[in-house]
């Protein structure tokens, strides 16, 4: 097997692995969207500061992801 063949097989394997990870993300996003539409299972008359804290932690985690993906926040590229 040539080096070019190995490189091609490696790229194919990486492409398949990438699509599997993307599919995992899609499932997670669908689940988050569904539970968000249901107000994260919170009962309106029973919402308390603990619920707010939970959502705050979710925001922090999601912000870390979006900052990384969009190169914002601590992941922003600095301009010389």
Give yes or no: residues 2 and 30 share one domain.
yes
pLDDT at 74: 87
Residue 4's domain comprises 1-37
Q: How many domains does the chain have?
A: 2
- Residues 7-63 have pLDDT tens digits of 999 999 999 999 999 999 999 999 999 999 999 999 999 999 999 999 999 999 999
Distance between CA atoms of 11 and 76, rounded to whole angstroms? 28
Give yes or no: residues 61 and 77 share one domain.
yes
User: H helices within 38-77, ranges in order?
Assistant: 49-70
pTM of the model: 0.82
Give yes or no: residues 31 and 51 share one domain.
no
pLDDT at 79: 58
Distance between CA atoms of 69 and 26, rounded to whole angstroms? 15
Give yes or no: residues 70 and 50 share one domain.
yes
pLDDT at 66: 96
Give yes or no: residues 77 and 62 share one domain.
yes
């Amino acid at each position: 097997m040539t080096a070019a063949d190995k490189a091609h097989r490696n790229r194919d394997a990486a492409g398949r692995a990438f699509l599997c990870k993307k599919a995992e993300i899609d499932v997670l996003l669908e689940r988050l969207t569904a539970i968000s539409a249901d107000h994260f299972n919170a009962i309106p008359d029973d919402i308390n500061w603990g619920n707010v804290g939970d959502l705050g932690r979710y925001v922090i985690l999601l912000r870390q992801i979006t900052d990384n993906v969009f190169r914002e926040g601590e992941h922003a590229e600095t301009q010389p």
